[in-house]
Amino acid sequence: MSNTNEKIRLEHITKRWGEVVAVDDLNLKIEKGDFITLLGPSGCGKTTTLRAIAGLDEPTEGKIFIDNKLIFSKKEEIIVEPSKRNLGLIFQSYALWPHMTVFQNIAFPLQMKKLPKPDIKKYVAQALKDVRLQGYKDRYPAELSGGQQQRIAIARMLINRPDIYLMDEPLSNLDARLRIEMRAELKQLHQKLEATTVYVTHDQVEAMTISSRVCVMNEGVIQQIGTPEDVYRRPANLFVARFISNPQMNFFDGTVKKENGKMVVEAGGFRLPVDEEKINGRDSVIVAVRPEDFYIADDGVEYHVDAQLPAGSSQIIMVSRPGEEQVALLFEGTFKNKDGEKMKLAVKPETYNIFDKETEKVLV
Amino acid sequence: MSDLAIQSGSPLLRRLKRNYSQPQRIIGLILLLLLLFFVFMPMVNLLYTSFTLSYSDQRLPEVKASGVEFEEGKFSLVHFRRVFMSKLSKPMLLIPLMNTLLITAGLTILSISWGCLLAWLVVRTNLPGKKALANIAALPYIIPSWVISLAWINVFKNQRIGGSIGWFEYMTGIAIPNWFAYGPVPIIICLSLHYYAYAFITVSGALASIDSRLEETGELLGANRWQVMRKITLPLVMPSILAAFILTFSKGIGTFGTPAFLGIPVRYYTLSTQLYANVKNGLEGDAYLLAIVMILISGITIYMNVKVIGARKSYVTIAGKGFRAKPIDLGKLKHVVFIIMVLFVIFFVLFPIYILLAQTFMEAEGDYSMANFTTHFWIGEAGSIGSKGQVMGMGESGILRNPSIYQGAWNSLRLAVLVSFLAAVIGIFLGYAIVRGKGTILSKMNDALSFAPYIIPGIAFGAVYLGMFAQPRGPIPALYGTFSLLVIVSLAKRLPFSSRTGTSAMMQIDRELEEAAGLVGAGFFKKFTRIIYPLTKSGFVAGFLLSFITTMRELSLIVLLVTPKTKVLTTMIFRYAESGFHQFGDAITMIIVVISITGTLLIKRFQSTSLVKGV
């Protein structure tokens, strides 16, 4: 049933390009004021989904509702034009018209609405002020920096006062510093205007920092939807665990044992307690431990230090045990170990995830 | 928000309505119909006509001898037998075919070697003044290919065939033998002087993209300069040499003006001039078969190009950063090469133009003394009496006073303007339909059909149109002798270029630019006028000028279709040359040369200020 808080609903959306299935039976509800990120590797169907919402691509199957009104249905051949969906889109390339000045770019949507000239002037001036680019109205896009172009694209999107913002990898063309700056700006913008935002990115850090909900996709299928904390701490499957990790997630083959009447999983030398119910009779599983979830303990498992990669406030240490894969550790501050030395490690309780070997679904 | 009223009717109806209201589909369909009618149909008709009897075939001896009652439009192998399996095959097909192949092979080898050498000198060495030399050396490419052959006649003709002596005999007193004045030798030389530009342009482009560190690595690893050239440089530019080879070859097959000027006086025929002679003699059926032969040869070469070379058209050797091109030091040879280059430019580029210009000021051909100087052929009044008491120019006035020339010039001008404007417009629409409809059958058909005229040599294409539009076709009345026919045929022949320009211009426009406009409610018309046209404008202007020059100097395509009423400058030159009035012809040639050069300079200006490039 529909609820009043819902803004966008996708039902059974499938998109095929010939043989290739870009999006496969996707169902998604987006609430009013949500900032949802579609996250996944390239080719996972995230941009296709966004373009389907915008009406730029036509899904092969399925229905889309906005404000509980049917705006797309393949079966009924209902397709509301993009311009009638009351949404704004920032393209990955910004799609600023290179032959128009900043003013003309931002004024274009208003000209399409046939607003009187003085009004257009007034609104564009206000929009330029909002993005702090007052003095730039007669410049051409090519004469602006990447960050300024980005802000013009935002101004052009906002000028029509849409109630849905769609953003397709808007920060991917910026350098690292500017990206962090613009991230904050986009977040503030969302908090101020409270418009429902659908944001596409392949950068998991970006997704974690900016959104209220993250939707991880792979091969056209949604893997997990949840808050950034959820997908980080409780990945639904191995793919999500692997994708949302910085630096890499450590995976161990685990063997289930019963010791002193309690269930444990033995993995990488560690003995990790586990609920018998959740293991449900399996005897081998996959254990995932994040690099920051190790600590040094006197009764820990002995590891050999292969390399230390200090990075200012924290550092990554690569360690290994004979005949096993390398493990990455992340420690705050500096660490006074030397390469070739031994260190004794333990895993923080309740931080690790355990996955089924076959289905790759999460157990713990 | 959404207007559900527009969603009425049954799903199927809505689907049809939406699919066929997509602009690229409507445009694509309209273009497809036009292409079918103006490209596909004429070719089918050509095939059909060569295997049926036409009214004029009644007088053919084979038809009379067969005893069967003549019936117009009946299927017949008469033409096929005449061209391929009779006594006539030798003079009509075999000899011209051999001549064509000989000339084409000769000119291809000559122009590829010269073009490559020149490209290497200009791009990779420290030859002094190479930029200026390269620009002047490209001149013959800009002016019509047959201009040099007209100059050749003026320099080397002899009394026996040319009617008067040429510059060379005048200066030296040495009579030129026929084989050097006319026939295959001068044809090959003159054509090479035009067509070397293809190899020069493509190969110098490839050479310029080679990072000289690739060669230096070879040297560091112990190869000498010759080995580096053979094992590294040559293989890297090989694809573009092969491409130039095929392009020159397929152009050579269809070339008309030069073999006509230098071959017909000594009855040396190529396929193109034989085809022309057949049409002039009312043997259209035979001519059409020759056209088919030419199309086949040209088609096979281009097919080879696509299949054999297309797979690895070019190596990407530009790595993006740190690109370096170190010129090779020619050492002491530098000055020798420089002098040779200057001599080449003087003798083969500037001198021919000078000779043609000088000729226009001569009262009697071949007399280079001041006493023979006259401005009659430019500004003289009709019926002026010359210094020897005879009427000059057969009583015709100078070209700047001659209403007949003005009519030809007017026809040339309006033809060139109309064709280039329409070609540029059609090009943008073709580009839109092909690029935006990418992957659909419609887009593929439009792409293929608009490319088809490329494989058809100009004179054969003229023949195709002669066969198609000499009589009423559907809603179109008989067009032979009309100006519209010239416009349509020139436009159709320009299609491959317009469609290429249009497609590449469209590809430069990111689809998102158009979508961004659509998203805020711009319809197709608004998108086209506000986004697409402004962004393709500079390409549009350059394309317009290029078409303008090409049409202005076009001869082979329209020579079969022009009538006295629709004559243009180039066909007037041709008629003057045919009837031995070189001064008039040369004077008009000068005008075309000036127009061609000016147009090219304008194109360069427009291309360097392309808007899209800067973004």
Q: What is the pLDDT of residue B311?
A: 52
Q: What is the pLDDT of residue B318?
A: 42
Contacts with B, A 105-144, CB within 8 Å? 108-109, 112-113, 141-142
According to DSSP, the β-strands at A196-201 and A164-168 are: parallel
Closest-CA distance of chain B to residue A161, Å: 11
Gap between the Cα atoms of B611 and B509, Å rounded: 11
State pLDDT tens for residues B57-69: 777 887 777 777 7
Q: What is the pLDDT of residue A111?
A: 93
pLDDT tens per residue, chain A (364 residues)? 456 789 999 999 999 988 899 999 999 999 999 999 999 999 899 999 999 999 998 899 999 999 999 999 988 888 898 999 999 999 998 999 999 999 999 999 999 999 999 999 999 999 999 888 989 999 999 999 988 999 999 999 999 899 999 999 999 888 888 889 899 989 998 998 889 999 999 999 999 999 999 999 999 999 999 999 999 989 999 999 999 877 788 999 999 988 888 889 999 999 999 988 888 888 899 999 999 999 988 889 999 998 888 888 888 899 999 888 899 999 887 766 666 788 899 999 989 999 999 889 998 8
Which of the 8 DSSP states describes residue A249? Answer: P
Domains observed in chain B: 25-39+402-615 (1.10.3720.10), 88-326 (1.10.3720.10)
Query: Taking CB atoms and an 8 Å cutoff, what residues of chain A touch B515?
Result: 56, 82, 89, 91, 95
Residue B198 clears pLDDT 70, i.e. is over it? yes
Q: Please report which confidence band the pLDDT of residue B438 belongs to, taking 50, 70 and 90 as the band edges.
A: confident
- Chain-chain contact of A69 with B2 (C-beta, under 8 angstroms): yes
Q: What is the pLDDT of residue B3?
A: 44
Q: What is the pLDDT of residue B269?
A: 96
Gap between the Cα atoms of B225 and B519, Å rounded: 59
Residue B611 clears pLDDT 50, i.e. is over it? no
Task: Determine the straight-line distance between the first and last CA of chain B, rounded to whole angstroms.
Answer: 36
Are A174 and A182 within 8 A, CB to CB? yes
Of A79, A83, A97, the CB nearest to B521: A83
Which percentage of chain B shows pLDDT scores above 90? 27
Q: What is the pLDDT of residue B368?
A: 79
Contact of A170 with chain B, judged by CB distance below 8 Å, is answered with no
Long-range Cβ contacts of B294-300 (<8 Å, 24+ apart): B294/B253, B294/B254, B294/B456, B294/B457, B294/B459, B294/B460, B295/B455, B295/B456, B295/B457, B295/B460, B297/B253, B298/B250, B298/B253, B298/B254, B298/B455, B298/B456, B298/B457, B299/B455
Gap between the Cα atoms of A61 and B564, Å rounded: 64
Gap between the Cα atoms of B192 and B179, Å rounded: 17
Strands ordered across the beta sheet of A314-320? A327-332, A314-320, A294-311, A342-347
Gap between the Cα atoms of B100 and A21, Å rounded: 54
Are B504 and B331 within 8 A, CB to CB? no
Q: Please report which confidence band the pLDDT of residue B614 belongs to, taking 50, 70 and 90 as the band edges.
A: very low
This model of the complex carries an ipTM of: 0.83
Closest-CA distance of chain A to residue B4, Å: 8
Residue type at B63 in one-letter notation: V
Q: What is the mean pLDDT of residues B282-297?
A: 90
Are B210 and B325 within 8 A, CB to CB? yes
CA triplet B370, B167, B183: central angle to 5 degrees? 155
Q: Please report which confidence band the pLDDT of residue B394 belongs to, taking 50, 70 and 90 as the band edges.
A: confident
Of B15, B517, B521, the CB nearest to A113: B521
State pLDDT tens for residues A281-326: 888 999 999 999 999 888 899 999 988 888 888 888 999 998 888 9
Residue type at B6 in one-letter notation: I
Of A88, A99, A113, the CB nearest to B534: A99
Q: What is the pLDDT of residue B597?
A: 85
Instruction: Report the residue of chain A nearest B515, measured CA to CA.
Output: A56
Q: What is the pLDDT of residue B2?
A: 41
Q: What is the pLDDT of residue A1?
A: 47
Q: Which residues of A248-274 are buried (b: 16+ CB within 10 A; e: fewer)?
A: ebbbbebebeeeeeebbbbbbebebeb
State pLDDT tens for residues B443-492: 999 999 998 898 889 999 999 898 888 888 878 888 888 999 999 999 99
Gap between the Cα atoms of B308 and B312, Å rounded: 8
Q: What is the mean pLDDT of chain B?
A: 84
Q: What is the pLDDT of residue B9?
A: 65
Residue B599 clears pLDDT 90, i.e. is over it? no
Q: What are phi and psi of A310, to 5 degrees?
A: -70, 140
Q: What are phi and psi of B232, to 5 degrees?
A: -115, -60
Q: What is the mean pLDDT of residues B100-115?
A: 94
Q: What is the pLDDT of residue B615?
A: 26
Residue type at A75 in one-letter notation: K
Helix (H/G/I), strand (E/B), else coil: A27: strand
- Chain-chain contact of B614 with A98 (C-beta, under 8 angstroms): yes
Q: What is the pLDDT of residue B382?
A: 79
Closest-CA distance of chain A to residue B208, Å: 28
Are A195 and A163 within 8 A, CB to CB? yes
Long-range Cβ contacts of B593-596 (<8 Å, 24+ apart): B593/B143, B593/B144, B593/B147, B593/B353, B593/B356, B595/B549, B595/B552, B596/B142, B596/B143, B596/B144, B596/B549, B596/B552, B596/B553
- This prediction has a pTM of 0.80
Q: What is the pLDDT of residue B607?
A: 64
Token pair belonging to A150 = 């980005």
- Closest-CA residue to A222 (of A212, A237, A208): A237
Contact of A79 with chain B, judged by CB distance below 8 Å, is answered with yes
Are A248 and A328 within 8 A, CB to CB? yes
- Chain-chain contact of B520 with A78 (C-beta, under 8 angstroms): no
Residue B4 clears pLDDT 50, i.e. is over it? no
Residue B20 clears pLDDT 80, i.e. is over it? no
Contact of B615 with chain A, judged by CB distance below 8 Å, is answered with yes
Token pair belonging to B474 = 């559907």
Tokens 């007949």 belong to: B404
Q: Please report which confidence band the pLDDT of residue B410 belongs to, taking 50, 70 and 90 as the band edges.
A: very high
Q: What is the mean pLDDT of residues B546-560?
A: 89
Higher pLDDT: B107 or B400? It is B107
